[in-house]
Amino acid sequence: MDLTSIERDALADVERIGTLSDLEAFQTTYLGRKEGRLTQVLRTLGNLSPEEKKQIGQAANQLRALLEEKIARKKQSLEQSSLLSALESSKLDTSLPGTSLTRGHSHPIAGAIREISHIFRSIGFEAVEGPEIETDFNNFTALNIPQHHPARDLHDTFYLNLASEKGGGSQENPWLLRTHTSPVQIRLMQAVKPPVRIVAPGRVYRHEAVDATHAAVFHQIEGLAIDTDITFADLKGSLKYFAQTFFQSDLQVRFRPGYFPFVEPGAEMDVQCFLCHGAKHLKDGTPCRLCKATGWIELLGAGMVHPNVLRNVGYDPAQVTGFAFGMGIERMVMTRMGIRDIRLFLESDLRFLEQFA
Ligand code: FA5
């Protein structure tokens, strides 16, 4: 059993190791569990005299410790240099631009709701929401549109056959999908005392034939201001400020008489056409197609809250007055962006939506 020759060979071999697989072979040759040269020495210790066993055993264990240490060091340095050479040879160019991620963005209608709410917030209105499933009372009766009132025909309504529940579901007061955001006025005034200054955006439903300017599901934003001394001048000032901010221009606005049962007097607000600037025709003399050569674009309905509505929610029309308005959000965005077909908003076609990034 020649420990000296094992040591001499091992120390020479270890210097020649160049790769991790050389190292593995080295480990098998000297320390392998079955055939390792040093293992075999250690295995025969049992046959020796106690004196030899002690002496050779000690030397063999020392040699094993030495070889294990050499193997560990070699392994570390091999791993390090293989990492270094991998880094050196790799073709990674950190100065190249990365693969960019596609960024999502809000739907144009969601963006417009945020923007319009923000404009009204800047003049003291708070944004609130109401439910899309409403009672006939809140959607019509409380808004001064009693049963059999002809104005009900203007809103083709989806009635719901839902079980009776507190507030709705009876024959006189069925559930429905709200046809406008005006019932939020009723809910709010029933819940709080004046003064009130809110806008209420949301989805509304009408059983209408869908075409380029009519959807069966669309969005409106309602506005309501109630206090002891609100006048038509407040309505005009607030809506003019809104229109000029939203359309980013100093275009004129005008108010025409308009009929809504829940306001008196009622009005429709138009904004000067921003394609022809009110001239009715374009620079080349052709009639303006955006405003159909009228010079004006219809924007919204508004008016002073009808005394009957105030009474219906328990307010005293001798004490408080107020104004309300309602606008279609799709139509606002269509007007501002020159979009011809309302159905584009509902189709989720990325070619259309990505233009609003
Ligand atoms: C109303 O719904 C009233 N609640 C508005 C109002 C509120 C007036 C408060 C006075 C005071 P109207 O039915 O006109 O009014 O609808 C308001 C707006 O919704 C319209 O000007 C239009 O922009 C939009 N709109 C109406 N029907 C559709 C439809 N089918 N598709 C898309 N937009 C529509």
Burial of residue 273 (number of CB atoms within 10 Å: 0-12, 13-18, 19+)? buried
Residue type, 7: E
Give the mean model confidence (pLDDT) for residues 99-111: 90
Q: Give, using CA atoms, the residue closest to atom 28 of ligand 1.
A: 214
Q: Is residue 201 part of a domain?
A: yes
Q: Give, using CA atoms, the residue closest to atom 8 of ligand 1.
A: 301
Q: Is residue 272 part of a domain?
A: yes
Give the mean model confidence (pLDDT) for residues 298-304: 94
Out of 92-96, 198-202, 267-271, which region has the weakest mean confidence (pLDDT)? 92-96
Residues 288 and 344 in one domain: yes
- CA 309/CA 145 separation, integer angstroms: 10
Distance 138 CA to ligand 1 centre (A): 16
Mutate to test the pocket of ligand 1, among 239, 260, 333, 335 (most ligand atoms within 8 A of CB): 260
pLDDT tier at 1 (50, 70, 90 boundaries)?
low
Q: Does the beta carbon of 180 lie inside 6 Å of ligand 1?
A: yes
Residues 228 and 186 in one domain: yes
Residues 31 and 114 in one domain: no
Q: Is the pLDDT of residue 89 over 90?
A: no
- What backbone torsions phi and psi does residue 139 show, to the nearest 5 degrees? -75, -30
Q: Does the beta carbon of 324 lie inside 6 Å of ligand 1?
A: yes
Residues 72 and 156 in one domain: no
**Residue corresponding to tokens 């079980």:** 163
Average per-residue pLDDT for the chain? 92
Percent of the chain with pLDDT over 90: 64
Of 90, 116, 145, which residue is a domain's last? Answer: 90
Q: Give the helix/strand (H/E) hosting 34.
A: none
| Peptide bond between residue 195 and the one before it cis (omega within 30 degrees of 0) | yes
Residues 42 and 146 in one domain: no
Q: Does the beta carbon of 214 lie inside 6 Å of ligand 1?
A: yes
Mutate to test the pocket of ligand 1, among 182, 219, 323 (most ligand atoms within 8 A of CB): 182
Residues 202 and 171 in one domain: yes
Q: What pLDDT sits at residue 161?
A: 87
- Residues 38-53 pLDDT 10s: 998 888 888 888 898 8
Q: Is residue 98 part of a domain?
A: no
Residues 49 and 158 in one domain: no
Residues 219 and 347 in one domain: yes
Of 90, 118, 136, which residue is a domain's last? Answer: 90
Using CA atoms of 301, 302, 307, 312 in order, give the dihedral in degrees to the nearest 10.
60
Q: What pLDDT sits at residue 101?
A: 86
Q: Is residue 99 part of a domain?
A: no
Q: Is residue 67 part of a domain?
A: yes
Q: Does the beta carbon of 328 lie inside 6 Å of ligand 1?
A: yes
* Helix, strand, coil share of the chain (percent; to 5): 45, 20, 40
Domain total of the chain: 2
Are the C-beta atoms of residues 158 and 177 closer than 8 Å to each other? yes
Q: Does the beta carbon of 178 lie inside 6 Å of ligand 1?
A: no
Q: What pLDDT sits at residue 248?
A: 81
Residues 221 and 321 in one domain: yes
Of 90, 120, 143, which residue is a domain's last? Answer: 90
Domain with residue 119: its CATH number is: 3.30.930.10
Q: Is residue 64 part of a domain?
A: yes
Give the mean model confidence (pLDDT) for residues 152-169: 83
pTM of the model: 0.73
Q: Does the beta carbon of 268 lie inside 6 Å of ligand 1?
A: no
Distance 68 CA to ligand 1 centre (A): 86
Q: Does the beta carbon of 219 lie inside 6 Å of ligand 1?
A: no
- CA 71/CA 50 separation, integer angstroms: 31
- CA 324/CA 198 separation, integer angstroms: 10
Q: Domain containing 31: what range? A: 3-90
Residues 287 and 200 in one domain: yes
Q: Give, using CA atoms, the residue closest to atom 2 of ligand 1.
A: 180
Residues 169 and 296 in one domain: yes
Q: Is residue 95 part of a domain?
A: no
Burial of residue 53 (number of CB atoms within 10 Å: 0-12, 13-18, 19+)? middle
Q: Does the beta carbon of 246 lie inside 6 Å of ligand 1?
A: no
Distance 117 CA to ligand 1 centre (A): 17
Q: Does the beta carbon of 242 lie inside 6 Å of ligand 1?
A: no
pLDDT tier at 251 (50, 70, 90 boundaries)?
confident
Reduce the DSSP state of residue 242 to 3 states and report it.
helix
Mutate to test the pocket of ligand 1, among 153, 204, 211, 218 (most ligand atoms within 8 A of CB): 218
Q: What pLDDT sits at residue 314?
A: 97
Mutate to test the pocket of ligand 1, among 120, 144, 180 (most ligand atoms within 8 A of CB): 180
Q: Is residue 215 part of a domain?
A: yes
Q: What pLDDT sits at residue 186?
A: 98
Percent of the chain with pLDDT over 70: 100
Q: What pLDDT sits at residue 85?
A: 87
Reduce the DSSP state of residue 134 to 3 states and report it.
strand
Residues 59 and 170 in one domain: no
Q: Does the beta carbon of 264 lie inside 6 Å of ligand 1?
A: no
Give the number of C-alpha atoms closer than 13 A to the C-alpha of residue 241, restricted to the C-beta side.
13
